[in-house]
Structure 1
Amino acid sequence: MSEATARTSVVIPAFNESGSIGQVVLDLLGSAPWHEVLVIDDGSSDDTAAQAASAGACVIRHPYNKGNGAAVKSGIRRASGAYILILDADGQHQPADASRLVSFLGDYELVVGARSPGSQASLARRGGNAVLNAIASHLAAHRIPDLTSGFRAARRDCLMEFLHLLPNRFSTPTTTTLAFLRAGYSVRFESIDAVQRRGVSKVKLGSDGIRFFLTLVRVITIFSPLRIFLPISVAAFSSGAGYAVWTIATQSHVTNSSVLLIVVSVVIFLIGLVSEQIASLRFEGRGR
């Protein structure tokens, strides 16, 4: 395990986390011999950078707040380790779990710290995450127990392949998980218990929940378009065909609405089919 951690760059995005970042860095450095610990200060207005530096981290500063995803991308670009460990700056992730996630990177390209339901912040957030997990599992055709966990370890070279796809806000975990699965990489979800965070969460359940869902749809559309287009096509075709049968039985003719729905369903299916071929070509090109 110590050999894996010695090859790992720890990336910690932080925005106004002066109350917790120092202890987070100290706990990490005391738990294992990491290759480096990078704290990306995303334009904080408090002394987050100073606290992180005094604890022993290498600090990268953004001149203004760009977003959690932008901070993660800055850390990945600056990291020099073969492996990357990403965790939050609020103290909810435990150092022992950090070493455990990294230890699986010999067999897996991505290891996600999947939070147990009881350790997630609130009932509302648990419910929202459960809905997102269920939708993501269906669209990705793979069980995803925790789509939005920011606690994850990955091979740096694999992360670099998808760096251009990562958003600048809070949807980076969603994008990386789905991208790795679609690329055929081995992904492990390792159960962890998150502790109570220090300070106030920067994630807003309403607006960020909608953003997570839209990102989920966008990423699936990029990597597996038919998972989106086919159900819509089937629904349109079923509606058109069903309406046609009803009008033939009751009015002895087929309406323009029925024909339009059936034509639209065929067009949507063809668009999905072409998009699926483009997605396949993208991944064939990635391996060359």
Structure 2
Amino acid sequence: MSVIISALNESAVIGSLVARIRELYPDFEIIVVNDGSEDETARVALEAGAFVYSHPYTIGNGAAVKSGIRIASGEILVLMDGDGQHRPEDIPRLLQYLPEFDMVVGARCRCQQTNWWRAAGNRVFNCLASYVTRFEVQDLTSGFRAVKSETAKDFLNLLPNTYSYPTTITLAALHSGRSLKYEPINVLKRRTGKSGIRCVEDGIRFLLILMKVCTLFAPLRVFLPTSIAMFLTGLGCNLWTFLTAGRFNNMGALFLTTSVLIFMLGLISEQISQMRFDRSARP
């Protein structure tokens, strides 16, 4: 069993977090990936009993998790944030469903979101992901999860270097037919510092990444509604001008033609996506 903790300038809390995990689960491998911290995060984690792997400079939260997955030796990986919000006492609640499930995610309730805009944004992202995967996604961005090592390493090349790695690994697991389970958890408030996530900049960037990931895994679920919307717009436009002026118009024809092109692009993207995953699947 390996616990992977990504940390950036968390010297105030990382020591107590590692010590608590070591106290509760002395047989676990604890890996702290220091993502180019400018404080004493690496030293404090090492003294607390963790194996520390350091990036020479800050690459990203997702990159830190990927480094931890590469060097972990356990068959089950527990992914946690290094800010002290995840409770080590909740780890058995995730592990109880393994190996029956391939991945178990700690789902936060909406009342525990620190900001209303973040709660609203996560709600939108959860709904979009649920539509794409046809599975009820309860917490798309949770960084607290337990996953089989084989499953995590299968999708390692797809994970981004940023905060959106939970989104990618969740959609990848569901798209490939892996089983996923959500377990309600309570998270703690940050004791020091503040989140590095910015509302507008990271929100827009995360939405673009989510759309890109959705298009990667289930492109027709994205292209088809767009095509239908364009088709209905063109049909309505032509119907209106035919009833009022007895003719069709160029704008309606443009919408109808565009809807066909988008639909065909969706079909091609669906085939490319399927071939990509067929080639990357293990024998």
Partner residue of 1:52?
45
CA distance in 1 between counterparts of 2:205 and 2:157 reads 18
List aligned pairs for 1:165-184, cutoff 5 A.
165-184=158-177
Is 1:148 the counterpart of 2:132? The answer is: no
Contact 1:10 1:34 in 2 (8 A): no
CA distance in 2 between counterparts of 1:33 and 1:216 reads 38
CA distance in 2 between counterparts of 1:185 and 1:33 reads 30
CA distance in 1 between counterparts of 2:199 and 2:270 reads 32
The one-character-per-residue Cα deviations of 1:39-64 (angstroms, maximum 9, x if unpaired) are 00000000000110010000001000
CA distance in 1 between counterparts of 2:90 and 2:205 reads 28
With normalisation by structure 1, the TM-score equals: 0.94
Is 1:219 the counterpart of 2:213? The answer is: yes
1:67 partner amino acid: G
The one-character-per-residue Cα deviations of 1:53-102 (angstroms, maximum 9, x if unpaired) are 01000000100000101100000001111111110111111112112212
Partner residue of 1:29?
22
Is 1:100 the counterpart of 2:93? The answer is: yes
How far the C-alpha of 1:140 sits from its partner, in A, is 2.0
List aligned pairs for 1:1-288, cutoff 5 A.
8-199=1-192, 200-285=194-279, 286-288=281-283
How far the C-alpha of 1:34 sits from its partner, in A, is 4.0
- Does the residue aligned with 1:38 lie in a helix, a strand or coil? strand
How far the C-alpha of 1:122 sits from its partner, in A, is 2.4
How far the C-alpha of 1:35 sits from its partner, in A, is 3.3
CA distance in 2 between counterparts of 1:106 and 1:261 reads 50
How far the C-alpha of 1:160 sits from its partner, in A, is 1.1
CA distance in 2 between counterparts of 1:30 and 1:208 reads 36
With normalisation by structure 2, the TM-score equals: 0.96
The one-character-per-residue Cα deviations of 1:136-156 (angstroms, maximum 9, x if unpaired) are 212222111111110011011
- Does the residue aligned with 2:6 lie in a helix, a strand or coil? strand
1:269 partner amino acid: F
Query: Cα RMSD over matched residues?
Result: 1.2
Q: Percent identity?
A: 47
CA distance in 2 between counterparts of 1:215 and 1:198 reads 30
Partner residue of 1:4?
none
- Does the residue aligned with 1:154 lie in a helix, a strand or coil? strand
CA distance in 1 between counterparts of 2:206 and 2:267 reads 25
- Does the residue aligned with 2:4 lie in a helix, a strand or coil? strand
164-173 or 276-285, larger mean C-alpha shift: 276-285
- Does the residue aligned with 2:101 lie in a helix, a strand or coil? coil
113-122 or 171-180, larger mean C-alpha shift: 113-122
How far the C-alpha of 1:258 sits from its partner, in A, is 1.2
Q: How many residues end up aligned between the 2 structures?
A: 281
CA distance in 1 between counterparts of 2:9 and 2:230 reads 48
Structure 1 residues without counterparts, runs of 5 or longer? 1-7
Structure 2 residues without counterparts, runs of 5 or longer? none
1:51 partner amino acid: V
